[in-house]
Amino acid sequence: MRKSILYDASKCTACRACQVACKQWNQLPAEKTSFQGTYENPPQFSSTTWTKIAFREHAEAESDRVKWLFSKQGCMHCTDAACIKVCPASAIQRNEFGAVVVDQDKCIGCNYCVANCTYNVVGFDQEANVAKKCTFCYDRISAGLQPACVTTCPTGALSYGDRSEMIALANKRLRHLQDNGNPNANIYGLEELDGLGVLYVLEEEPEKYGLLENPKVSTRANIWNVIFKPVRAIVVLAMFFALWINKGESKKQDEDRIAT
C-alpha cells in the first residue's frame, strides 16, 4: 500500500520543527548560512538539508498588509520521477511504500539526478561522492512509526498514512476551507507527475507557495532514460555474471581445501 504525507498549509505556523526533526533523526549537521533577505533558511537543499519550510510573502490587494504563505518542501516522491529515469546505475528506486530512495552503495556520483530533479531537491555529498535526499524515514515507517517530521508537528499540519486515506482527509479539509470563505483552496499533488507522495492542502494557487503549477519531467531526462535503459540491463547482467563467477570460484576453493 502506497503511503503519503499530507501537508495542510492552513495549519502551518512555520515553526520549522519538521526541519529540526529531520536533521536530528537523520543525524544531519547544521549548515553555516548568511542572511538572504528572507526568513527562509537554509536557502536551498543540500546533502545535509532534506526538508525546509519555504516562506512567500504577498501584498493583499484589499489592504496594506502582507500575507505570509508557508509550505514544507522536500522530495515529492513523484510517481513519474525524473531521478529514477536518469540514473544509469539503477541506484534510485521506488520501495514498497512508494517512496523514491537512493541506494548509496550503488550510487556512482554522476550527479544526473541532481541536475534533472523536477523540484531541485536532491543534494550531493562531494566528500562521499553520492546523492542524498529525503528517505521518507524508511527506517521509521518500516518499523510502524511515522516520519520524524510528522511526529514533531505541533499544529497537526502534517499527517501520514495510506495514500487513499490522505486523499480523503485532504478532500475533507478542502471542503471545510471552501465552506468557510476560502474559494481558492485547492489540493496539490493528486495528478502532478502522475501523483506525488507528498500531498498539499493550499489556501492559494500553488505558484504563490513556490510550487510548480504544471511540473513535467524534462525532455532531457526522458532522453537519458531511453539511453540508459540498455546500460542498466548490461549492468544487471554483469552483476549476475560476476556473482556466478564468484560463486564458482568459491566452490572450487572449498573443494580444493577439502581435498588437501
| CA pair distance 150, 197, nearest whole angstrom | 14
User: What average pLDDT score do residues 19-28 get?
Assistant: 97
Q: What is the pLDDT of residues 70-92, one digit of tens each?
A: 999 999 999 999 999 999 999 99
Handedness of CA 188, 87, 130, 161 (dihedral sign): positive
**Predicted local distance difference test score (pLDDT) of residue 196:** 98
| CA pair distance 74, 154, nearest whole angstrom | 19
Q: What is the pLDDT of residues 181-240, one digit of tens each?
A: 999 999 999 999 999 999 999 999 999 999 999 999 999 888 877 876 666 555 555 544
Angle 235-240-243 from CA coordinates, rounded to 5°: 125
Residue appearing with cell numbers 508557508: 70
* Domain ranges (residues) in the chain: 3-209, 228-260
Q: CA torsion, points 199, 204, 207, 208, in degrees to nearest 10?
A: -120
Q: What is the pLDDT of residues 110-142, one digit of tens each?
A: 999 999 999 999 999 999 999 999 999 999 999
Amino acid at 127: E
Cβ pair 149, 18 in contact under 8 A: yes
Angle 219-167-16 from CA coordinates, rounded to 5°: 80
User: What average pLDDT score do residues 2-9 get?
Assistant: 98
The DSSP string of 86-130 is: H-TT--EEE-TTS-EEE-TTT-----HHHHH-TT---EEETTTTE
pLDDT confidence band for 104 (50 / 70 / 90): very high
User: What average pLDDT score do residues 24-41 get?
Assistant: 90
Residues belonging to the chain? 260
Amino acid at 51: T
Cβ pair 22, 51 in contact under 8 A: yes
**Predicted local distance difference test score (pLDDT) of residue 246:** 53
pTM of this structure: 0.85
Angle 235-240-245 from CA coordinates, rounded to 5°: 120
**Predicted local distance difference test score (pLDDT) of residue 192:** 98
| CA pair distance 106, 93, nearest whole angstrom | 11
Q: What is the pLDDT of residues 165-194, one digit of tens each?
A: 999 999 999 999 999 999 999 999 999 999
Residue 170: partners with Cβ closer than 8 Å, 6 or more residues away: 6, 8, 187, 199, 201
Q: Which fold has domain 3-209?
A: Alpha-Beta Plaits (3.30.70)
